[in-house]
Amino acid sequence: MQRFFGLLPSGELTNETLAVMKRPRCGLSDVEPFGETIRWKKSTLSYRIASYNLPIPTSKVNKVFRAAWKLWSNVAPIKFRKRSRKEADIVISFHSGDHEDGSPFDGTGGILAHAFPPGFGIGGDVHFDADEDWSLKSSQVKSSFNLFAVAVHEFGHALGLPHSSDPGAIMYPTYNFAPNYELQLSFRDVKDVQHLYGISPNFASLFSKQPPPRTPDKCDPDLSFDAVTELQQEVLFFKDRFMWRKHPQFDEIGITLSSSLWQDTVPPYLDAVYENVERNVNVFFKGHQYWVLRQFNLEEGFPRNISDLGFPSRIKSVDAALHFRNEHYTVFFTGHECWRYNEQQKTLEGSPTLIEQQWPGIPTPIDAAVFYEGVVHLFKGNIHYKFDSNSKHVLSTGPANELLECKKNDDNEILTGRR
Ligand code: TQI
Ligand code: ZN
Ligand code: ZN
């Protein structure tokens, strides 16, 4: 009932809820129920930005909100029109503490913003906590929140979207903003808003080149990996912005954004990752750069160029890194070559060798490598090779995702939108 009447669906009998229950009703409304949720009935929605408490100059605030609405109007047939004075369907405002809607803000941190589901009056309104340190920058300042990212999420609520269980979705209930990467709606967000409002006539042409990103499915028989590494007791499998964590004590191997562990220190779409237990560091590779992290903190001076490791300038990236704890060296794979890096002397030893000689039976270039449970695991496309590095032969092959213990179930289909 609260949801229907444009109140935060807290389940509590607040004064506002009581007031709504007492209010006279008439049959005309701008909203209609849609299954469990409600949606706006009209296709052009007006919004107004209240001028008080603005944390940043008006012109910048206007730009951020216009861009946030555009993400939604690009995919669903809704138009958003800004109004300056007249009443608007959606009022956007900044408040601190109690602002008399039954859901007071809580100062710095905690709740950042909230939005009311579609409806008259306060319905669709979006409130931001004026006590947060709001940022606009694409490079993130610690402890500040990106106004654009939070606005896109709240506008989703204002359109009637609930939270999503897909960790790649903007509507997933954790703050995950990757600076330097263009924020986009995920495949799941797009499906959800199109389920409510239909498909924008521009959708096909706008997204034909770059469709909204899907969250990978560990049960996909075509799954391949960007990188695989050990991390203390776990094995981590990287793919796009995500990773799966295989922990010896947990039987469920879940997917998370890799930023959930490293925030914005390491980029998505990595090339290679390895752990050096002795030096207590993790090393990440992407393109010509590498990052060294000690206990989740970036070491000073990183990222650095891979040429600093001793690679000649013709090597533009690293495909995979394979660390041998006991022997104190790491093998880097680049194209059809591999290189041996001495971790104690911190130098590349000699010249590269051909993968087909050192690793017979392994096609090149490879995607990922890890030494785990006494065996070398190499990944190429959707195939996983177990390799014995002493006898130099392939022990077995299987699907790339065989270590992820895929248990096919409906949840997975719901999560990824695949059938
Ligand atoms: N505000 C919550 C949110 O927008 C308010 C909320 C809505 C809520 N539905 C809820 C809280 C159900 C509890 C249960 O989700 S928030 C994010 C996140 C918030 C959170 O300030 O916590 C974003 C605002 F978590 F997704 F990052 C924006 Cl993006
Ligand atoms: Zn409020
Ligand atoms: Zn939310």
Q: What is the pLDDT of residues 179-196, one digit of tens each?
A: 767 899 999 999 999 999
Q: How confident is the model at residue 199, as a pLDDT?
A: 98
Work out the pLDDT band at 33, boundaries 50, 70, 90: confident
Q: What is the pLDDT of residues 322-343, one digit of tens each?
A: 999 999 999 999 999 999 999 9
Tell me the pLDDT tens digit for each residue of 208-245: 999 999 999 999 999 999 999 999 999 999 999 999 99
Under the banding of pLDDT at 50, 70 and 90, the label for residue 16 is low
**7 ligand 1 Cβ < 6 A:** no
Residue 415: pLDDT over 80: no
Q: What is the pLDDT of residue 25?
A: 42
Identity at 69, one-letter amino acid code: W
Helix (H) or strand (E) holding 236: strand 234-239
Q: According to CATH, where is 3.40.390.10 located in the chain?
A: 22-207
Given a cut of 90, whether residue 282 has pLDDT beyond it is yes
Give the residue numbers marked as catalytic. Answer: 154
**Residue 113, ligand 1, Cβ within 6 A:** yes
The protein residue whose alpha carbon is closest to atom 3 in ligand 1 is 114
Q: Are 101 and 124 in contact (CB under 8 A)?
A: no
Which of the pair, 24 or 339, is modelled with greater confidence? 339
Query: In angstroms, rounded to a whole number, what is the distance separating the alpha carbons of residues 187 and 183?
Result: 13
Ligand 1 pocket test: pick from 126, 145, 153 the residue with the most ligand atoms within 8 Å of its Cβ: 153
* H-helix or E-strand spanning residue 246: strand 242-246
- Expressed in angstroms and rounded, the spacing between residue 258 Cα and the centre of ligand 3 is 20
Residue 23 has pLDDT above 50, yes or no: no
Look up residue 216 and give its DSSP letter: P
Determine what percent of the chain is predicted with pLDDT higher than 90: 79
For the stretch 136-169, pLDDT in tens is: 875 556 678 999 999 999 999 999 999 999 999 9
Neighbouring CB atoms inside 10 A of 392's CB total 12
- What does the pLDDT average to over 24-34? 61
- Is 149 in contact with 177 (CB distance < 8 Å)? yes
Q: Is 174 near ligand 1, meaning CB less than 6 Å away? A: yes
Atom from ligand 1 closest to the CA of residue 162? 9
Task: Work out the percent of the chain whose per-residue pLDDT is above 70.
Answer: 89
Which of the four pLDDT bands, split at 50, 70 and 90, describes residue 417?
very low
Between 5 and 262, name the one with better pLDDT: 262
Q: How far is the CA of 125 from the centre of ligand 1 (A)?
A: 14
Q: Which atom of ligand 1 is found nearest the CA of 154?
A: 4
Half-sphere exposure at residue 86, Cβ-oriented, CA atoms within 13 angstroms: 6
Contact between 320 and 358 (Cβ < 8 Å): no
pLDDT tens per residue across span 51-72: 999 999 999 999 999 999 999 9
pLDDT category of residue 35 using cuts at 50, 70 and 90: confident
Q: Is 114 near ligand 1, meaning CB less than 6 Å away?
A: yes
- Is residue 15 scored above 70 in pLDDT? no
Atom of ligand 1 nearest to the CA of 149: 29
Query: Range(s) for CATH 2.110.10.10 in the chain?
Result: 227-404
C-alpha–C-alpha distance, residues 185 and 203, integer Å:
13
Pair of tokens at residue 183: 């924020």
139 token code pair: 């490079």
**Is the Cβ atom of 120 under 6 angstroms away from ligand 1?**
no
* Mean pLDDT confidence for 120-148: 87
Q: What are the helix (H) ranges across 198-305?
A: 203-207, 259-262
Question: Which residue type is seen at 308?
Answer: D
Q: What's the CATH class of domain 227-404?
A: mainly beta
| Burial per residue of 330-369, b for 16 or more beta-carbon CB atoms within 10 angstroms, e otherwise | bbbbbbebbbbbebeeeebeeebeebeebbeebebebbbb
Count CB neighbours of 27 within 10 A: 4
Q: For the chain, what is the radius of gyration of the CA atoms?
A: 25
* pLDDT given for residue 26 in this prediction: 44
Residue 10 has a pLDDT of 60
C-alpha to C-alpha distance for 272 and 337, rounded to whole angstroms? 15
Residue 11: pLDDT band by 50, 70, 90 thresholds?
low
- What pLDDT is attached to residue 85? 82
H-run or E-run covering 157: helix 147-158
Least confident of 91-95, 250-254, 369-373: 250-254
| Amino acid, res. 108 | T
The answer on pLDDT for 130 being more than 70 is yes
Beta strands in 272-409 (DSSP E): 272-276, 281-286, 289-294, 297-298, 304-305, 320-324, 329-334, 337-342, 347-354, 368-372, 375-380, 383-388, 393-399
Residue 4: predicted pLDDT:
44
Give the torsion sign (CA, 187, 39, 117, 72). Answer: positive
Nearest residue (by CA) to ligand 1, atom 23, is 150
Residues whose CB falls within 8 Å of the CB of residue 346, separated by 6 or more in sequence, listed in order: none
pLDDT of residue 58: 95
Q: Which ligand 1 atom sits closest to the C-alpha of 153?
A: 29
The pLDDT, as a whole number, for residue 299 is 95
The count of C-alpha atoms lying within 13 angstroms of the C-alpha of 233, restricted to the half-sphere facing its C-beta, is: 4
233 vs 326: CA distance, rounded Å = 16
User: Does 153 contact ligand 1 (Cβ within 6 A)?
Assistant: yes
Beta carbon of 10 within 6 Å of any ligand 1 atom: no
The predicted pLDDT at position 418 comes to: 47
Query: Which tens digits make up the pLDDT trace of 75-120?
Result: 999 999 999 988 999 999 999 999 999 999 999 999 999 999 999 9
CB 92 within 8 A of CB 50: yes
Please state the rounded mean pLDDT for residues 4-20: 51
CATH of 22-207, picked from 3.40.390.10, 3.40.50.1980, 3.90.960.10, 3.40.50.1820, is: 3.40.390.10
pLDDT at position 175, please?
Answer: 82
Task: Look at the alpha carbons of 151, 153, 154, 157 in this order and tell me if their dihedral is positive or negative.
Answer: positive
Q: How far is the CA of 175 from the centre of ligand 3 (A)?
A: 9
CB-side exposure of 143: number of CA atoms within 13 Å? 5
Q: How confident is the model at residue 31 (pLDDT cuts 50, 70, 90)?
A: confident
CA of 114 to the centre of ligand 1 (A): 6
- pLDDT score for 241: 94
Residue 152 CA to ligand 3 center (angstroms) comes to: 10
Give yes or no for residue 150 CB within 6 A of ligand 1: yes
Distance CA 240, CA 217 (A): 12
Burial of 99 (0-12, 13-18, 19+ CB in 10 A): middle
